Amino acid sequence: MTIPVYQNFINGKFLANQNGATFAVTNPATDEVIYHVEVADKFIQDAAIQSAKQGFAVWSALTPIERSRILLKAVTLLRERNDELAKIEVLDTGKPWQEAECVDVQTGADVIEYFAGLAPAQVGQQQMVAEDFYYTRKEPLGICAGIGAWNYPLQIACWKSGPALAAGNALIFKPSEETPLGAIKLAEIYTEAGVPAGVFNVVQGAAEVGQWLTHNPDIAKVSFTGEVGTGKKVVASAAGSLKDVTMELGGKSPLLVFDDADVSQAVSAAMLGNFYTQGEVCTNCTRIYVHKNIYQQFIEELKSRTEQNIIAGDPLDPQVNFGALISKKHQDLVMSYIDKGIAQGATLLTGGKTLSPESAPNGYFVAPTVFIDCTDDMTIVKEEIFGPVMSVLVFEDEDDVIRRANDTHLGLAAGVFSQDIKRAHRVTHKLQAGICWINSYGNSPAEMPVGGYKQSGIGRENGIETLDHYTQTKSIYVGMSNIESPF
């Protein structure tokens, strides 16, 4: 069987590179190469900028409602092709079909639909100043760049392109080298829906292609999703031409389970927030603080449900609810954290090993892992692992657990489980995190802004405010009276 080779998507169509460089993409559940992709060389990079300039001129001249109609057609196509796109995400990422079928494409389409609806409603302001007045216009930034992580490839491409395009910008998107196909399919859908050539371009490659985007002076903004360390490099590089930035970075989020919580619900949240997408979710609650009065009950239920209800295997099997990690390298990294947890004195409640399920024996699986007897200074409690590794800690006092939860340079998300409504809100208001859930975990509707405090990010995605992050305000002063001039 011939293995397909995908080209970069520039100016509304596929474009061959000139240096012939390609990279291979592997299915994490089988360890097999599934396709190749051409790298965006200098020829492609120059073409992407030219194409985006032309696309921007056409797209920004449309009215918001005209842009909205086109984007809504893309939303319809995304939903119609849900299964085809979900399968691509399963093969690229190793996540279970069960998830991709109802989350990845749907939540991507939701966000484009949301911003398509908002765009025509974005208004400026006007104010009288004596007899004169001024008014403001919300104008697009120009060419924006999106750089994505590998855990939700299509969803990230939608979350970045939805507001960028709705506001009238052109976008050059670079997916992760691990998962490049979803963005290409989105480009085809935008083109079919009537988005003009050059408005959404996809460039492929690893860090050096990302670096080029962050350096290029023609690009007005970079919206980045990835690790904290890479995010810092992106911000430093973007500073060279004072680009606007949105940074969606990593986390080490706490879940606080008080002794008046519904324990089964809290266990559900802890499992969702550590084992969904085999633990590769930025908002995961990897530090679970449980009140000592319910600790025993909590860990007993957690252990039995983890050992009985998680089914690892071929991610395309609809019964499977736990997939393979993105790469062998990442599997090794996650295992090295597990080794450190053991070496530093944490106790394995369950998991702690690689898996080789019968239906996917060559996949990069790590068993759902729970550590107990953890302390705040352990590496597994301090660093983002980005795999299915949960640390459970015990607390007694409300103020003390808030202090411990906040004792990190990260601040992406947090959760509180308590049936006491006053306590739940009081505690949540003191948590240093951009996204907080009360008696819930992980839901992220298009309407709700998401992003990090501290080193977990800059700016927000989704929600009304994000449209402002893709526009700039022009103030126009109108003189109605004669100019008073001393000259």
β-strand pairing of 132-140 with 471-478: antiparallel
For ligand NDP, how many residues bind (rule: CB under 6 A)? 30
CB-nearer residue toward ligand NDP: 11 or 462: 462
Q: Which two tokens stand for residue 484?
A: 């008073």
* Stretch binding ligand NDP (CB under 6 A), from 5-13, 72-80, 249-257, 365-373: 249-257
Of residues 248, 267, 278, 279, which one binds ligand NDP by CB under 6 A? 248
Contact 58, 196 (CB under 8 A): yes
Calculate the dihedral angle through the C-alpha atoms of 433, 439, 442, 445, rounding to the nearest 10 degrees: -90
Q: Which one, of 411, 389, 401, lies nearest residue 251 by Cα?
A: 411
CB of 181 to ligand NDP, least distance (A): 13
Q: How far is the CB of 62 from ligand NDP (least distance, A)?
A: 29
Min dist CB 248 to ligand NDP, Å, is 3
Q: Of 249, 285, 299, 435, which lies in the binding site for ligand NDP, with binding defined by CB under 6 A?
A: 249
Enzyme catalytic residues: 248
22 binds ligand NDP (CB under 6 A): no
Among 174, 221, 287, 291, binds ligand NDP (CB under 6 A): 174
Tell me the per-residue interface mask from 272 to 301 with ligand NDP, x by CB under 6 A, - otherwise.
Answer: ----------x-------------------
Mark 368-387 with x for binding to ligand NDP (rule: CB under 6 A) and - for no binding. Answer: ----------------x-x-
Two tokens, residue 129? 């100043």
CB–CB of 243/219 below 8 Å? yes
Residue 11 or 237 with smaller CB distance to ligand NDP = 237
274 neighbors 286 (Cβ within 8 angstroms): yes
Residue 202 as a binder of ligand NDP (CB under 6 A): the answer is no
Structure tokens at 162: 């939805």
With tokens 């696309």, the residue in question is 55
| Cβ neighbours, 10 Å, residue 304 | 12
113 or 384, CB closer to ligand NDP?
384
Residues 116-145 binding ligand NDP (CB under 6 A) are none
CB 327 within 8 A of CB 151: no
336 backbone dihedrals φ, ψ, rounded to 5°? -70, -35
Tell the residue number behind the tokens 């089988």, with chain if given.
Answer: 30
Name the segment binding ligand NDP (CB under 6 A); options: 1-9, 225-233, 302-310, 367-375. 225-233
Reported as type and span, the H/E element at residue 231 is helix 228-238
| Residue 148 sits in the site that holds ligand NDP (CB under 6 A) | yes
Helix, strand, coil fractions of the chain, as percent rounded to 5: 40, 25, 35
Q: Considering the complex, what minimum distance in angstroms separates the CB of residue 230 from ligand NDP?
A: 3
Check binding of 236 to ligand NDP (CB under 6 A).
no
Q: How many helices (H) and strands (E) does the chain have?
A: 16, 25
CA distances (Å), 103 to each of 32, 83, 271, in order? 25, 11, 17
Counting contacts by CB under 6 A, is residue 215 touching ligand NDP? no
Give the separation between CA 103 and CA 276, rounded to whole angstroms: 11
Site string for ligand NDP, 407-446 (x = CB under 6 A): -----x----------------------------------
Q: Of 46-54, 219-227, 286-294, 356-364, which segment contacts ligand NDP by CB under 6 A?
A: 219-227
Residues that bind ligand NDP (CB under 6 A): 147-151, 174, 176-178, 206-207, 210-211, 214, 225-227, 230, 233-234, 248-251, 282, 384, 386, 412, 452, 457
